[in-house]
Each structure stands twice: as structure tokens, then as C-alpha cells.
Amino acid sequence: MQTPVTLTPLDFMFYGRHMNTRTLPSKLFKYFLWMCKMITKIVALLIGREVFKYKRAKARTQKLARQEAQRRMNEFVSIASHELKTPLTSIKGNIQLMGRRLKSSTNETHSVETQQLLAEARELLDRTDQQVGRLTSLVNSLLETSRINANTMDLLFEVCDLNSLLQEVVKDPRSISAKRTLHINISEDKNIIVMADIGRIKQVILHYLSNAHKYSAIECPIKIHLREEGSMAYVSVSDEGPGIPIGEHKHIWERFYRVSSIDVLNSSEVGLGLGLHISRTIVEQHHGRVGVQSIPGQGSMFWFTLPLFQEK
Ligand code: ADP
């Protein structure tokens, strides 16, 4: 019985002449098979390497294309918002001027017809003013995001009592519709001191409040809560609106992101999906954190924290 022989290229090179000629064809065949296997492996390796190189180059090109598209979008947003801001300011100024003229002209004695015309003009002007206000707030949001991108959002830090700030916000009739019930959970006699840009933090609170109002039915109350949590101040705004699907929680903070399945119930304002992005940037620049707890069908609670002021 012949013992199977495994032939390597070295065997073949050095001992080929002395090999048994009867077993040679089968050995040659094995050697041929072995060579085929090796060549296949090498070719597979080479192909694999080329595929890897191609995929890497493709990923790099796609990344560069994405960065370029992002850069162009930022540039567009920045130019468009700056260009829109100037005529809007002038329109606003003209509306105010016109309003004052109309007001003063009503004091004079006019015919009933003229009085009617003036009243109509005043009403139209008021409506135009409201629309210009909406447009201005959209343009301001766009300007804010371009400032965020360019890292030019300036903050003016000062010592601030969050308690007083919240009281001031909720007492201001412009903060929220008078038809809405607000439940405020703030201990009035306790100062909660933080170092903050007051205007910016107010902007975050107002944005949380305006979203709660915008997305929940008018008869549902909104709750505001302020407390200390360790070394942080904690502010939350809760509503009984539609709630946000879990998968969307991390996306809603992204620029221009809106949840298509959530309808605006109480505002004529079109959102651009910028408010939460701006709010997160503001809070993070204060070394705080933002978050949301929300269950579809039950409501949402948006919160943020800020480090408490530590006197050294
Ligand atoms: P927008 O101006 O569109 O409201 P935001 O950045 O404030 O932009 O919010 C992003 C998206 O998150 C909204 O379009 C909405 O779908 C969802 N959202 C925000 N707040 C709430 C809320 N209180 N209840 C339900 N959905 C909300």
C-alpha cells in the first residue's frame, strides 16, 4: 500500500529527479492543486486589497462631498439670513412709522368714510406687522445657527437667580397664551444662583414653553419645575401633548430636524426645526445639559441643567 505523499515546491525542486515515476503524476497533480489553491488565495488577497482601497477612496470622496455640501449650506444660510435681515428691519421701521402717522391722523376731524378707511389701514398694518414679526423670528433663528456654525455666538455671563428669571418669564403675558394653564413648581423664597447669559437662558425657557404650547391641546396644562440637583440647577417644562417616538429623541436636537408625524396645534408659526438645536448649543456653552423624556400619547418633558454658581 502506498502512503500518501504531500509534495511541496521544495520537494519538487530538490528531489524531483529521484522520485518514484509511478507516483509522480499523482504527486504532480497534488502539487498542481496546491499551486492553484495558493494562486487563488493570493488573487483573493489582491482583489480584497483593491476592493478595500476602492471602498476607502469612495468613503473619503463621499465625506469630502458631504463636508462641501455642508459648507455651502452654511454659507447660503449665513448670506441669506444677513441679506434678509436688512430689508426686514427697514420694513419693520416703516410699519412703525406708518402706524404712528395713522394714529395721529385719527385725532383730526375726518369724514366717516375717511375714518373707516383709516381703521382698515390700521388693521392691515397690524396684520402686516405680525407677519413681519414671524418672518423676523425665522430669520433670527437662521442667523443664530450661522453664528453657531461660525463659533461666533457671544455670551455675556453674569450672576443670575434662576428662580427670579423663571418668575419673570411666567408672569410676562407675552411668554404664553392667557388661555393656557401653567403649573409652576418653584420654591419662591429660594435663590438658585447660576452664572449665565440671562437673555440666552430666557430664550431657552421661552422656546421650551412655546413648543409645549405649540404641540399640545390648549386645555392641557403645562408644568414648569425648578430645583437643585447636586451641583446643578434643573429646569423642566412638561406638556400633555402627543409625545415623541423614542427613535426621534436624539434627532430632534439636530439642525433643521422636525418630526413629520407631530402636528402644530396652537401656532401659526412654521418651525424650521432650529429652536432645540439653538437651545442645546446655548445650554452646552453654559456647561449644562439638555434632554427629553417623552412617551407617545402621554406627553413630553424637556429639561436642561446649569452648574450652580460656586463662590470661591
Ligand atoms: P420647531 O421650530 O420645528 O418646533 P424645534 O427644534 O423646536 O423646531 O423642535 C424640533 C421638533 O421636535 C419639532 O418639529 C417637533 O416635531 C418636535 N417637538 C419639539 N417639542 C415638542 C413637544 N413639546 N411635543 C412634541 N413634539 C415636540
CATH value at residue 21: 1.10.287.130
Q: Among residues of the chain, what percentage have pLDDT more than 90? A: 67
Whole-number pLDDT of residue 20: 64
Ligand 1 contact, 299 CB (< 6 A) = no
* Domain span at 118: 1-153
- Pocket test of ligand 1: the residue of 216, 262, 263, 302 to mutate, having most ligand atoms within 8 Å of its CB, is 262
Indicate if 132 and 273 belong to the same structural domain. no
Give every CB contact of residue 98 below 8 A, 6+ residues apart in sequence.
Answer: 125
User: For residue 29, what pLDDT is reported?
Assistant: 85
Q: Does the residue 312 lie in any domain?
A: no
Identify the domain boundary among 87, 120, 153.
Answer: 153
Whether residues 185 and 283 fall in one domain: yes
* 114 and 239 co-located in one domain: no
Is 105 in the same domain as 221?
Answer: no
The pLDDT value given to residue 2 = 52
| pTM exceeding the 0.85 threshold for the entire prediction | no
Distance 254 CA to ligand 1 centre (A): 11
Residue ranges of the chain whose pLDDT lies below 50:
none
The 3 state secondary structure assigned to 19-37 is CCCCCHHHHHHHHHHHHHH
Q: Report pLDDT for 21.
A: 60
Last residue of a domain, one of 113, 137, 153: 153
- Find out whether the beta carbon of 271 lies less than 6 Å from any atom of ligand 1: yes
CA 304/CA 115 separation, integer angstroms: 52
Neighbours of 176 (CB within 10 A): 18
Mutate to test the pocket of ligand 1, among 215, 253, 282 (most ligand atoms within 8 A of CB): 215
What is the C-alpha separation between 210 and 217, in angstroms, rounded?
13
- Tell me, what's the pLDDT at 36? 93
Distance CA 306, CA 288 (A): 4
